[in-house]
Amino acid sequence: MWLSLIVFACRPPESPTPPVPAFAVVSVNDTYRIEGLPESGQGGLARLRTLRTETQAAGMPALLLHAGDLLYPSLLSSSYGGEQMIDVMNRLDGDATAFDDHLFVVFGNHEFDKKKLKDGQKLDARVEESQFTWLSSNITFANGDDGLPIVDSEHLAPRALVDLDGIKVGIFGLTTPAKVPDFVSTIDDPAETARAEVALLRSHGAEFVIALTHLEVRNDLALLTSLEGPLGPDLIVGGHDHQSMIEQVGDRYVVKGDADAVSAVRTIVRRQGAGFAVTPERVALGPDAYPPEPTVQASIDGWIARHQRDFCSQAKIEDGCLDATIGRTTVPLIAEELLMRRFETNTGDWLADLARGAYPDQGVQVALINSGSIRLNRNVAAGPLTRRHLEELLPYPTGLKIVDVPGKVLRDAVLQHAIEDWTGNGWFLHVSGLGFTHDVATGTIRDVWIADGHGKRPIRDDETVRVVTTDYLVDPTLGNRDGYTMIDVAWAKGGDATLKDLALGAVRAAGDAGISPAADGRICTTSERACP
């Protein structure tokens, strides 16, 4: 009998492979409503809190970045100056009183909607109330009577350096110079500022640099193109365009979410050799995947209820006035933002027609309404219309001005600018009394016509067209005029109506019969259908 002896050689267990250093960036931009879009159950800061919690639970540190436009404009901000937004943002770490070292915000152009010196003090108060950091690398705030900057909180910084899982991350903020209020001395060139900030952060040990920007995407992309390699940021987290996008330049990205936190972008950054692997993804903040976190939602509900009480009391109307029916629409009102900013819609036509009809005795021929003044960002089903619908549709009073515009300027400059950089910008125009074809392939307009008593005719170079438009496009003291600087303020001939009052009056006057706006083909977009 043989005895077989088998000996197993035992090796000591291998050391586990250490995890690859990594961190996450959760980013949103252009959030005007703390509650998101109530009808669809999309967006809002309570759902953003849920996403942040989920991301942190995955075991890696996470930055939360907001790329500007959060204080204005909104229905609640007209009463509270953005106080409600700061209060809810302070709760996104689960503690309304603790400072959030991983939340950073950049100023958007709408942070400067209120432009007087006294408004700078209000902005300083909002920054001081913030339990997070505001970044302002290219903004120099003006000094007050005490010789100190009007906005000068300890929660304001030009840049930050954060350690995330052993990775030194530098962050700086860039704001568009589109609107310079009285309490700001200068807003420096974003590209030159970026070059200097990246160099400074890298000299202080930053391995990965993030630019938090409120710029048009074309400017973000140009920045990456002009600042190659270590001269530029490794990632741009941007706002201002209101549209979700993930754009790549080489191995670097520009990322943006949809307005009102309908979507966020979650970007995972992992160390890879001597560099980093960057993986961004759009995350839709819908009701199914990301339900609202209860404590943040409770704060949001409290602010909305408080605002309704205050609004109705100030207007001397019974409590609940915002949600009371004031009229009805027999058709759905198309007012979702990316439709309003790219195409003719029945809501845009209705508002433009109201503006043109407001001056029956002054010879107004044409109305032009910039889509950036229309802010509802959701469609309204046929049926009852409330005061809240109209107040949110037009959060600004939107004063109207009559302007005499040379025909050639109107056709070749004004209307051409309306479709420039056709990605969903607020300078897209809704029109009345004229029409045109937008040739998307060539980026031009053609077949421009103006209405007269006998039908339609071409606009003549040598004629003067009487136009009614929003005061923002005419008055240089209100901001950058959405680029309509070809409209000379000297051409203005008066005008004192507001678009909000006209809309409220029209809904009430229609009574039970309701309004029935229709898009009648005054703007034909070649990407959507064949044009005559």
CA distance 477 to 474: 9
pLDDT confidence band for 12 (50 / 70 / 90): low
- More confident position, 187 or 8: 187
- CA torsion sign for 352, 356, 357, 359 is positive
What's the confidence (pLDDT) of residue 38?
A: 83
**Whole-number percent of the chain with pLDDT over 90:** 88
**Whole-number percent of the chain with pLDDT over 70:** 96
What's the confidence (pLDDT) of residue 401?
A: 97
DSSP labels, 65-112: EE-S--SSSSTTHHHHTTHHHHHHHTTTTS-SSS--TTEEEE--GGGG
**H or E stretch covering 383:** strand 383-386
Question: Is the bond preceding 280 in cis, omega lying within 30 degrees of 0?
Answer: no
Cβ atoms of residues 511 and 442 within 8 Å: no
Average pLDDT (271-288) is 95
* Residue among 166, 174, 167 nearest 198 (CA): 174
CA-angle at 478, arms to 373 and 242, nearest 5°:
40
**DSSP character at residue 498:** B
What's the confidence (pLDDT) of residue 1?
A: 30
CA distance 270 to 262: 26
Angstrom distances, CA of residue 278 to CA of 140, 236, 246, 262, 361: 32, 12, 12, 23, 61
pLDDT in tens, 329-364: 999 999 999 899 999 999 999 999 999 999 999 999
pLDDT in tens, 437-471: 999 999 999 999 999 888 999 999 999 999 999 99
- More confident position, 154 or 396: 154
Exposure pattern of 132-146 as b/e (b: 16+ CB <10 Å)?
bbbbbbbbebeebee
Cβ atoms of residues 308 and 79 within 8 Å: no
CA distance 263 to 39: 16
Angstrom distances, CA of residue 254 to CA of 9, 279, 469: 54, 12, 34
Average pLDDT (244-251) is 96
pLDDT in tens, 282-331: 999 998 889 999 999 999 999 999 999 999 999 898 889 999 999 999 99
Average pLDDT (65-79) is 96
What's the confidence (pLDDT) of residue 22?
A: 96
Contacts of 408 (CB under 8 A, 6+ apart): 461, 462
- More confident position, 397 or 294: 294
CA distance 153 to 187: 18
Residue that the structure tokens 């706006």 belong to:
517
**Mean pLDDT score of the chain:** 94
Count CB-CB contacts under 10 A for residue 458.
11
What's the confidence (pLDDT) of residue 8?
A: 34
What's the confidence (pLDDT) of residue 528?
A: 79
pLDDT confidence band for 109 (50 / 70 / 90): very high
- CA torsion sign for 148, 154, 156, 162 is positive
- CA torsion sign for 114, 120, 121, 124 is positive
pLDDT in tens, 481-532: 999 999 999 999 988 899 999 999 999 999 999 999 999 999 999 987 777 7
Q: Is the pLDDT of residue 3 over 70?
A: no
Cβ atoms of residues 364 and 424 within 8 Å: no
Q: Is the pLDDT of residue 69 over 50?
A: yes
What's the confidence (pLDDT) of residue 14?
A: 56
pLDDT confidence band for 18 (50 / 70 / 90): low
pLDDT in tens, 143-194: 999 999 999 999 999 999 999 999 999 999 999 998 899 999 999 999 999 9
CA distance 363 to 356: 10
Contacts of 183 (CB under 8 A, 6+ apart): 115, 116, 117, 119, 120, 121, 123, 141, 142, 150, 151
Q: Is 156 helix (H, G, I), strand (E, B) or coil?
A: strand
Average pLDDT (404-410) is 98
Domains and CATH numbers, the chain: 22-293 (3.60.21.10), 325-525 (3.90.780.10)
Exposure pattern of 317-328 as b/e (b: 16+ CB <10 Å)?
eeeebbeeebbb
Angstrom distances, CA of residue 37 to CA of 85, 160, 389, 439: 15, 33, 12, 32
CA distance 211 to 254: 9
- CA torsion sign for 280, 284, 290, 294 is positive
What's the confidence (pLDDT) of residue 396?
A: 84
